[in-house]
Chain A
Amino acid sequence: MTAINNDCQYISKNKISFTFDGKIYSAYDGDTVASALLRNNVRLVGRSFKYHRPRGIYTCGIEEPNALVQIISEHNEPNTRATIKRVYDGMEIISQNRWPSLRHDFGAINNILSPIFSAGFYYKTFMGPKGFWKNLYEPLIRRSAGLGKPPKNFRSKSTHQYHNTDVVIIGAGLSGLAAAKKFINTKYKVLLIEQDCYLGGILKNSNKVKTINELTPQEWISETEELILNSKNITILKNTLVTTYNFTNHLIALEDKFAGKKIELNKSELTLHKIRTSNTIITNGHIERFISFRNNDLPGVMLASSFEKYIHRYGVVPEKEPVIFTNNSSSLSLLKKLISLGCKPKAYIDSRKKDNIETEIKKILKDNDISFFSDAEIEGCDGNKKIETITIRQGKSFTKLKSSMLCVSGGYNPDIHLFTQSKGLVKWDKNILSFKPDTPFQKTITLGSTSGNYNFKKLCDEINEKLSILKTKKVSLDINLNVPNKFSINELWETKKKNNSNWSKSFIDLHNDVTIKDLKQAITEGFDRIEHLKRYTTNSMGTDQGKISSINSLAIVSKMLKKEISEVGTTTYRPPYAPLSFAAIAGRSTYEFYDPERKTSIHSWHLKNNAVFEDVGQWKRPWYFKASENETMYQAVQRESKMLRENAGILDGSTLGKIEIKGRDALEFMNLMYTNAFSKMKAMTSRYAMMLGEDGMIKDDGIICKISDQHFIATTTSSGAPKVLADMEEYLQTEWPHLQVFLNSITEQFSTFNISGPKTREIMMKVFPDIDFSNDAFPFMTFKNFDYKETKIRIMRASFTGELGYEIYIPPKFGLKLWEEIFSCGKEYNLIPYGTETMHLLRAEKGYIVIGQETDGTVTPIDLNYNWMIGKNKKDFIGKRSLSRPDTSREDRKQLVGLSPINKKDIIEEGQHIVELNELPKKITNPIKYLGHVSSGYHSPNLNHSIGLAMIKGGKNLLGQKFFVTATGKTKNIPVEIVKPVFIDPENKRLTS
């Protein structure tokens, strides 16, 4: 039965109620889920990861391996540690990994089958047949093994906050507060971070300290907190956990803004603090570890200091008559507290020899008539979903006791997690039997139990000495204790089982259900390096990261390997220290804030005219326009393509990247950046140009407008614009700093319309009656500037469809108005808007390539037969030398060709392979010879059959030959003829009409 500690000052008297697995319980404001459940005598709270064994509350903090619950009232938040999550009125909680209920879990059959589920079981068992892993094993394993279910309908409003400080103190326990005191009213900007909502650490969680400077611990905490709050240079962050210690003293901490309160939907529930500091002081204390014995996972087993914390911090005595099992001197304070509350432990088992046990302990046990077993250990415990009997071994004799709770203390580990994350070195300390910090890598100071100093009397000197490198005040601590000042411990990691059975288990990792037998087996199978062993057995890989057990496993493994523990070493500690919500990491970068959407000035018109959009980089571009509700994409694209070649169409090309290149050496720079020769090019003309990498591969293409030798405008692909500008800038700064050239992105300074089709000239003449659009006055690939109404426009004669076409550039402010004007003028000529898909179809008919579709970073201009674009007489340009590399001059490189189906009804699909076989064999025994792939495939409404562009090995020499194209879901291939990659108007008559 539980009891109450009325002295506890951290729990309010406000009663609240919450539900666990549908049942209503009452608790006090300030309780955690775990303390509230213990208050209500609930011991069974979850099922284990692999064997579905019943589990209870093992600890009272961040280190909890068992008591993970799902919070239904918080968007179904899974895997919440009951030991730190605070309850509030109306909270709904359920247990995890059980079906149909916590008491009767079908998955518990895994426990009976456990002899076959040993280490490496998944790796060895689920090998075949093919496809079984994906379709059967994985879904099955995921359903039965695991944790909670993912959250639903959750829209996080987490935020990030940045700090730049001089000193960060991690943990506001005794050492943290004493350290902070030294900085009061100094010149240092200090951040004191505490994971709990109260300061004090061990002072509030136990009665180990009797008095400090003649004050009670509580009085000393209040006094210190007030001094800190009054000091303007120190900020305290409560409910905040430091999870990460990166390079250059960069820390990440997570603050729970709604600890103990119901989340409000319109407020940020978590804040991720990103802290840059000059000095880090780690005072986050120690974590108690367990001892492995038979059934050391039964509900009712709890760490002794956690039991103590429930009494002091939450006012709950989880059990009036527990059994205490220890191997060290620290359990004295628990014993004293229980006696003072009128509770009487059933037995006290100490693995130390009688002579080594403190006289005070022996006296208390004798005075209160408590069964005492020295030089003894727990062999194991038994019971159905809870502890019922406990077996004690003393020498050769066994004693059975009836009890429902067992407090275990296996010693303390300095919490070195953050210190090792910072790349500090640790070393083994034989006095405390644990690793402690040795050489820091950054400006890191560890104090108190984190540094391995378990001697309270030496704490003051340690703090004053280690902080003497900073200009701080002297503190004095006069500490009186309830425990022996000298920490004494006896080495004990596991106890021996009485009988060997396949079903009895001593756990080394409670979270992932790893037993000592698994460790032995892994070593037998050759996984004798600690990092391998960890991954093979999943030891210490759970959400708790083996906080109470990882050092135990190192010790046990070192004994099995007959090595020193320092030779075995630790596994690598990586961030985060404790689970971190993805919502907190994402912060405000979610949904519409994740990646900005870029819209053109015509966007509203597109919406009104039933455009379906496509994402191109960050841009929203019309993909196609629906003429009616039921029109499919295929129908729309066929209609748009046909209409354009018959009449005219207009495309919103505003998204095309535009870069302005100006300066004394602009011409020389352009000649170096692009393959084309610009020297002889006349002013006010334009040219299709290509940019290569130094490896000779095509990076980007676009039209270059030459205004003068000192002024160019380059267009780029819509998504390539930032990269092209960055590349130009890089060459200017690093390779050719002598060139006087200035670059400017002008993509958003213009709305751009591409209007093309046989009736374009008539429409243009109607929109701009003052301009002469005749072939002589305005030939292909020239451009001119005009005054238009209250603004200026630039018109260029160019085309990406193969038809007569113009590009209009106008400031975006006037874009929509002109667009609408063009439509009202174009109505009588059946002008249509078209989207990117129709643009792609039309350019494929004409054999124009698209970067990223025909090219993939392995294609040179020669592969595309674009030799005419290469300025051969230029001395140099980026990638020129690479065009004559042995690899780029190979004859059998993949080259661009056109494909025409021999049977005109066949459809050529994009991405299909080109092969020599008319039919694929039913069973493939030898690799099938691969010739190339279809890079673009469309049904051409203008030719009335399917067409394709393809990259084929040695394609230039294969014109007129017959090959086959594979088809989705069929073994019969499509016969095609290799043709020139131009299907419409090969003489360019339409283009120049």
Chain B
Amino acid sequence: MILIKCPYCGYRDQSEFTSGGEAHVIRPKNPQSLSDKDWGEYVFYRNNPKGIFYERWVHSHGCKKWFNVVRNTATDQILKVYKVNEKRPDLSEFENTLKSPSGEPLVGSGNFAVKK
């Protein structure tokens, strides 16, 4: 259970929140003008990186407000929390954060718990 700082309520346990997947995927203004491929990209395709991820959360058992979170999916560290109407923080802000708990490669995982 990670600790999440709701921008409206403060620190709360993860069990109060629901994850809403990737953030900054904007619903097209005029869907009818989109090609099947572009519309398909919007509906069905999402990024799922190992590392820095911009994602949406909702304080579903609290104030019910949606907000955005920058989380490292490899370390589960929440690096930034910001409101829906706030600017997306630049990736460079997170350059000096820990890449993974055990220094394993970018793709895949394995038993790297032992330092050589």
Residue B79, interface by CB 8 Å = no
Binds B, one of A352-360, A855-863, A873-881: A873-881
Contact with A along B51-84 (1 / 0, CB 8 A): 0000010101000111000000001100000001
Expressed in whole angstroms, the minimum distance between the Cβ of B64 and any Cβ of chain A is 6
A72 CB to closest chain B CB (Å) equals 36
Residue ID in chain B nearest A573 by CB atoms:
B113
Asked whether, in the complex, the Cβ of B20 is within 8 Å of the Cβ of A569, the reply is: no
> Among residues 489 to 540 in chain A, which have CB atoms less than 8 Å away from a CB atom of chain B?
529-531
Task: Check if A598 is an interface residue, CB within 8 A of chain B.
Answer: no
| A733-B31 contact, Cβ under 8 Å, with A246-B1, A250-B3 | no
Question: B39 — nearest CB in chain A belongs to which residue?
Answer: A881
B39 / chain A contacts, CB cutoff of 8 Å? 881-882, 885
Q: Does B96 have its Cβ within 8 Å of any Cβ on chain A? A: no
Taken residue by residue from 23 to 51, chain B's Cβ proximity to chain A (1 for < 8 Å, 0 otherwise) reads as 00011001110101001101110000000
Q: Hey, what's the 0/1 contact readout for B5-28 against A, CB within 8 Å counting as 1?
A: 000000001000000100000110
Interfacial chain A residues near B42, Cβ < 8 Å? 694
Give, as a whole number of angstroms, the nearest-CB distance from A651 to chain B.
32
SS of B interface (majority): loop
Q: Is B87 engaged at the interface, CB distance under 8 Å to the other chain?
A: no
User: Contacting chain B: which of A420-428, A605-613, A903-911?
Assistant: A420-428
Q: How many residue pairs between the two chains, A and B, have CB atoms under 8 Å in the bound complex?
A: 89
Please indicate the chain A residues that have their CB under 8 angstroms from the CB of B101 in the complex. 423, 425, 441
Q: Is B107 on the interface with A (CB-CB < 8 A)? A: no
Q: How far is the CB of B62 from chain A (nearest CB, A)?
A: 13
User: In the complex, what residues of B have CB within 8 A of residue A977's CB?
Assistant: none
Q: Looking across the interface, which residue of chain A has its beta carbon closest to that of B40?
A: A885
Q: How far is the CA of A875 from the CA of B60 in the complex (A)?
A: 31
Taking a contact as CB atoms under 8 Å apart, the answer to whether A733 and B65 are in contact is: yes
The reply to whether B1 and A569 form a contact with Cβ atoms under 8 Å apart is: no
Cβ-defined contact, B115 with A734, below 8 A: no
A426 to B101, CA, bound (A): 12
State which of B56, B103, B114 has its C-beta within 8 Å of the C-beta of A570: B114
Cβ-defined contact, A426 with B84, below 8 A: no
- Whose C-beta in chain B lies nearest to the C-beta of A566? B114
Confirm or deny: B92 has a beta carbon within 8 angstroms of a beta carbon on chain A. Answer: no
Q: Choose one: B32, B111, B112, B113; the contact of A875 (CB below 8 Å).
A: B32
For B115, give its contact among A438, A885, A886 (CB under 8 Å).
A438
Are B111 and A571 closer than 8 Å at their CB atoms?
A: yes
Complex Cα spacing A730 to B43, Å: 16
Interface contact B3-A248, CB-CB below 8 Å: yes
Enumerate chain B residues within 8 angstroms of A885, measured Cβ to Cβ.
36, 39-40
Q: A730–B84 contact, CB under 8 A? A: no
What CA separation (Å) do A425 and B32 show in the bound complex?
Answer: 53
Q: Are B114 and A435 in contact (CB under 8 A)?
A: yes
Contact at B43–A247, with CB atoms within 8 Å? no
> Is residue A729 contacting chain B, with contact meaning CB distance below 8 A?
yes
Query: Is there an interface contact between A695 and B111, defined as CB atoms closer than 8 Å?
Result: no
Q: How far is the CA of A529 from the CA of B111 in the complex (A)?
A: 10
Is A629 an interface position by the 8 A CB rule?
Answer: no
Given contacts A875-B32, A885-B39, whether A569 and B2 have CB atoms under 8 Å apart is no
Tell whether, in the assembled complex, residue B36 and residue A886 are in contact, meaning their CB atoms are under 8 Å apart. yes
Give, as a whole number of angstroms, the nearest-CB distance from A299 to chain B.
36
**Which residues of A have CB within 8 Å of B113?**
420, 425-426, 569-570, 572
By a CB distance below 8 angstroms, the chain A residues around B56 are 734
Residue picked from A531, A569, A734, most chain B C-beta under 10 Å: A734
Contact of A737 with B by CB under 8 A? yes
A569-593: CB near B (< 8 Å → 1, else 0) gives: 1111000000000000000000000
> Do residues A425 and B2 form an inter-chain contact, with CB atoms below 8 A?
no
CB pair A882 B43 closer than 8 Å: yes
Please classify how large the interface on chain A is, using the bins under 10, 10 to 19, 20 to 34, 35 or more: 35 or more
Chain B nearest CB from A881 CB (Å) reads 4
**Cβ of A730 and Cβ of B115 under 8 Å apart?**
no
- For residue A276, CB closer than 8 A to chain B, the reply is yes
A981 to B98 alpha-carbon distance, docked (Å): 60
Q: Are A733 and B115 in contact (CB under 8 A)?
A: no
Output the nearest chain A residue to B111 by Cβ-Cβ distance.
Answer: A569
Q: How far is the CB of B72 from chain A (nearest CB, A)?
A: 11
Selected from A439, A530, A531, A694, the residue in CB contact (under 8 A) with B43 is: A694
Contacts of A439 in B (CB 8 A): 115
Q: Sort chain B's interface into a size bin.
A: 35 or more
The verdict on A695 contacting B43 (CB below 8 Å), with A876-B31, A880-B31 known, is: yes
Judging by beta carbons under 8 Å apart, are A250 and B1 in contact? yes
CA distance A250 to B3 in the complex (A): 9
Instruction: Give the residues from 333 to 357 in chain A that come closer than 8 angstroms, CB to CB, to chain B.
Output: none
The answer to the question of A735 belonging to the interface, with a C-beta cut-off of 8 Å to chain B, is yes
Is A109 interfacial (CB-CB < 8 Å)? no
**A726: CB under 8 A from chain B?**
yes
| Bound-complex Cα distance A694 to B40 (A) | 10
| With A695-B44, A735-B27 as contacts: A426 and B36 at CB distance below 8 Å | no
Q: Which of chain A's residues have a CB closer than 8 A to the CB of B31? A: 876, 880-881
In the complex, which residues 680-717 of chain A have their Cβ closer than 8 Å to any Cβ of chain B?
Answer: 694-695
Contact residues in B for A529 (Cβ distance below 8 Å) = 111
Q: A737–B1 contact, CB under 8 A?
A: no
B65 CB contacts on chain A under 8 angstroms: 733
- Contacts of A695 on B, CB cut-off 8 Å? 43-44
Q: Are A247 and B102 in contact (CB under 8 A)?
A: no
Closest to A531 in B: B111
A895 to chain B, nearest CB (A): 22
| CB-defined contacts of B112 to chain A, threshold 8 Å | 569
- With a cutoff of 8 Å between Cβ atoms, the chain B residues found around residue A530 in the complex are 111
B20 nearest in chain A by CB position: A730
Most chain A beta-carbon neighbours within 10 Å: one of B26, B66, B103? B66
Residues A572 and B111 in contact in the complex (CB < 8 Å), given A425-B102, A737-B84? yes
| Chain B residues whose C-beta falls within 8 Å of the C-beta of A247 in the assembled complex | 1-2, 76
Q: Are B34 and A881 in contact (CB-based, < 8 A)? A: yes
Nearest CB of A to B10, in Å: 12
Which among A420, A426, A735, A876 is the interface contact of B30 at CB below 8 angstroms? A876
Assess the B2–A248 pair: CB atoms within 8 A. Answer: yes
Closest to A722 in B: B60
Q: How far is it, in angstroms, between the C-alpha of A435 and the C-alpha of B101 when the chains are bound?
A: 18
Contacts of B84 in A (CB 8 A): 733-734, 737
- Binary per-residue interface labels of chain A (228-271) against chain B in the complex, 1 for a CB within 8 Å, 0 otherwise: 00000000000000000011101000000000000000000000
**List of A residues within 8 angstroms of B26 by Cβ:** 735
Q: Tell me the complex Cα distance, A427–B56, Å.
A: 38
* Closest chain A CB from B112 CB (angstroms): 8
CA distance A529 to B112 in the complex (A): 12
Across the interface, name the chain B residue whose C-beta is closest to A565: B114
- State whether B114 touches A880 (Cβ < 8 A): no
Measured CB to CB, the nearest residue on chain A to B1 is A250
Contact B20 A427 (CB under 8 A): no
Q: Are B102 and A566 in contact (CB under 8 A)?
A: no
Check B30 against A425 for contact (C-beta < 8 Å): no
Question: What A residues does B58 contact at CB under 8 A?
Answer: 726, 730
- A428 in contact with B114 given A734-B56, A885-B40 (CB within 8 Å): yes
Residues of A with C-beta under 8 A to B64: 729
Given A247-B76, A885-B39, are A726 and B111 also a contact pair (CB < 8 Å)? Answer: no
CB distance from B60 to the nearest CB of A (A): 7
Q: In the docked arrangement, what's the CA distance between A179 and B2, Å?
A: 27
Sample 7 A-B pairs with CB under 8 A, ordered by A number: A423-B102, A425-B113, A529-B111, A571-B111, A695-B44, A880-B31, A885-B36
> 8 closest pairs, A vs B, by CB?
A881-B31, A423-B101, A248-B3, A569-B114, A733-B66, A425-B115, A427-B115, A735-B27
With A569-B113, A695-B43 given, can you name 10 additional A-B contacts, CB distance below 8 Å?
A: A250-B3, A426-B114, A569-B112, A571-B111, A730-B58, A730-B66, A733-B84, A737-B85, A875-B32, A881-B32
Interface residues of A (CB under 8 A from B): 246-248, 250, 276, 420, 423, 425-428, 435, 438-439, 441, 529-531, 566-567, 569-572, 694-695, 726, 729-730, 733-735, 737, 875-876, 880-882, 885-886
Residues of B within 8 A of A (CB): 1-3, 13, 20, 26-27, 30-32, 34, 36, 39-40, 42-44, 56, 58, 60, 64-66, 75-76, 84-85, 101-103, 111-116
